[in-house]
């Protein structure tokens, strides 16, 4: 076996006794250190990874950009719970609307938050929106879709952390080369726009981790503590979650029918649309989504598909609940979503799961 691809799980010891687990890459020495239970009292654990240090957050969890949904209420809730909440800039109608959202988040939390820029929207300009984020002193920006280099260059001279969504080793290496502070690597299980290579999260994450020196966030198919712990074991420094945050109480713009579709669906109830256009994206199955798939099977070109894959059709379902005419992004993780908790409840549950799984691993190691 190539030693550069090995990871190992070792037991941290204090006074000769096992007290916690360290996830360590055999080559880079990167590690995730959970705080011992005795240090956290009645609260759930805290974590220290390169992502928590980079973003100055308690937990290595970043909320995805979530077009038309990631606004102040959700972003602030995620940040207050210890993660990094984000506002979706390119879903807003104007720079002043973004400025208003940024200030609203600041009225709701004193914790770090970010602004996401989905720049792959057929040449739609983003510079005026980015300028507002920089003027307002936003500490983190993330870039999804399109070529991130011009946007990252525009941040030169500003004290802002830059995260870039990638779906391949090549994209991750390019992001690092142009100045990204971290990459979010999304596997094929994820919701929304994906890579073209159909590489799953479980293989993609260690490949990316072994290929770059900057922190890596795992994305795609992660919605609970088990997924977070698995991502850390694969060498990631944290996770990005999107679909799971739609099914929370603070995602106030998502129609109940959209949330219900996530609750009722299983891992078999998603599909990838727009594959024929070279921009594959995963959605929850609805009659509206099935119509798109049928048109693609019939060989429809972009002009014929355009009315059905538009932002308006997306909003028709996620805002109005019209599944016949619209569609909504969702990952295969819907098979693990069974309720609509508050963001705080979700975080508490996730990190209790992490503690429980670590305790089980510890017990198993001690029996050997």
List the chain pLDDT tens, one digit each, 368 residues: 343 333 333 333 333 333 334 445 444 456 555 554 433 334 567 899 999 999 999 999 999 999 999 999 999 999 999 999 999 999 999 999 999 999 999 999 999 999 999 997 656 899 999 999 999 999 999 999 889 999 999 999 999 999 999 999 999 999 999 999 999 999 999 999 998 999 999 999 999 999 999 999 999 999 999 999 999 999 999 999 999 999 999 999 999 999 999 999 999 999 999 999 999 999 999 999 999 999 999 999 999 999 999 999 999 999 999 999 999 999 999 999 999 999 999 999 999 999 999 999 988 888 76
Q: What is the pLDDT of residue 366?
A: 81
What is the pLDDT at residue 4? 38
Residue 46 has a pLDDT of: 81
How far is CA 343 from each of CA 74, 81, 245, 340, 355, rounded to the nearest angstrom? 8, 7, 7, 9, 18
Q: How far is 331 from 270, CA to CA, in rounded Å?
A: 7
Q: Tell me 6's DSSP state.
A: -
Whole-number pLDDT of residue 36? 42
Phi, then psi, of 254 in degrees rounded to 5: -80, 125
Other beta carbons within 10 Å of 17: 9
Other C-beta atoms closer than 10 Å to the C-beta of 53 total 12
Question: Is the Cβ–Cβ distance between 220 and 212 less than 8 Å?
Answer: no
Q: Report the alpha-carbon distance of residue 314 to residue 115 in Å, rounded.
A: 21
Q: Which of 157, 318, 333, 149 is nearest to 228 (CA)?
A: 333
Q: CA-to-CA distance for 273 and 198, rounded, in angstroms?
A: 13
3-class DSSP assignment, residue 257? helix
Q: What is the pLDDT of residues 42-90, one digit of tens each?
A: 456 789 999 999 999 999 999 999 999 999 999 999 999 999 999 999 9
Measure Cα distances from 349 to 145, 226, 240, 340, 345 in Å: 31, 11, 17, 12, 6
Pairing of strands 161-166, 140-144: parallel
Q: What mean pLDDT, rounded, does the chain reach?
A: 90
188-222 pLDDT, tens digit each: 999 999 989 999 999 999 999 999 999 999 999 99
40 backbone dihedrals φ, ψ, rounded to 5°:
-115, 0
Q: Under a CB-based contact definition with an 8 Å cutoff, are residues 108 and 136 in contact?
A: no
**What integer pLDDT is reported at residue 212 of this predicted model?**
98
Beta pairing partners, 101: none
Query: Can you tell me the distance from the alpha carbon of 256 to that of 319, in angstroms, rounded to the nearest whole number?
Result: 9
Q: Show Cβ contacts of residue 189 under 8 Å, excluding neighbours closer than 6 positions.
A: 200, 201, 220, 221, 282, 331, 332, 333
State the pTM of this model.
0.89
């Amino acid at each position: 076996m190539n030693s550069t691809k090995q990871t190992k799980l070792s037991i941290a010891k204090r006074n000769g006794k096992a007290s916690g687990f360290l996830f360590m890459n055999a080559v880079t020495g990167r590690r995730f250190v959970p705080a011992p239970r005795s240090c956290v009292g009645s609260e759930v654990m805290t974590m220290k990874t390169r992502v928590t240090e980079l973003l100055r957050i308690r937990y290595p969890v970043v909320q995805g950009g979530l077009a038309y949904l990631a606004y102040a209420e959700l972003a602030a809730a995620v940040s207050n719970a210890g993660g990094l909440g984000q506002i979706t800039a390119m879903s807003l109608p104007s720079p002043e609307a973004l400025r208003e959202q940024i200030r609203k988040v600041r009225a709701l939390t004193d914790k770090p938050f970010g602004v996401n820029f989905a720049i792959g929207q057929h040449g739609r300009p983003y510079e005026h929106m980015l300028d507002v984020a920089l003027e307002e002193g936003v500490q983190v920006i993330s870039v999804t879709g399109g070529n991130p280099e011009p946007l990252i260059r525009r941040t030169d001279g500003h004290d802002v952390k830059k995260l870039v969504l990638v779906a391949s080793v090549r994209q991750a290496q390019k992001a690092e080369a142009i100045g990204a502070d971290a990459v979010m690597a999304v596997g094929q299980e994820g919701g929304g726009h994906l890579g073209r290579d159909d590489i799953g999260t479980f293989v993609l994450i260690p490949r990316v981790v072994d290929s770059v020196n900057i922190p890596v966030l795992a994305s795609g198919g992660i919605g609970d503590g088990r997924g977070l712990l698995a991502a850390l074991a694969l060498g990631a420094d944290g996770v990005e979650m999107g679909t799971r945050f739609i099914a929370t109480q603070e995602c106030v713009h998502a129609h109940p029918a959209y949330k219900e579709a996530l609750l009722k669906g299983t891992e078999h109830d998603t599909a990838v649309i727009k594959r024929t256009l070279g921009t594959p994206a995963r959605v929850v199955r609805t009659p509206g989504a099935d119509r798109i798939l049928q048109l693609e099977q019939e060989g429809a070109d972009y002009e014929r598909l355009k009315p059905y894959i538009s932002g308006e059709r997306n909003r028709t379902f996620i805002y109005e609940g019209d599944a016949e005419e619209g569609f909504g992004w969702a990952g295969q993780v819907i098979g693990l979503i069974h309720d609509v908790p508050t963001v705080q409840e979700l975080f508490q549950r996730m990190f209790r799961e992490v503690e429980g799984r670590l305790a089980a691993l510890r017990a198993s190691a001690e029996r050997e």
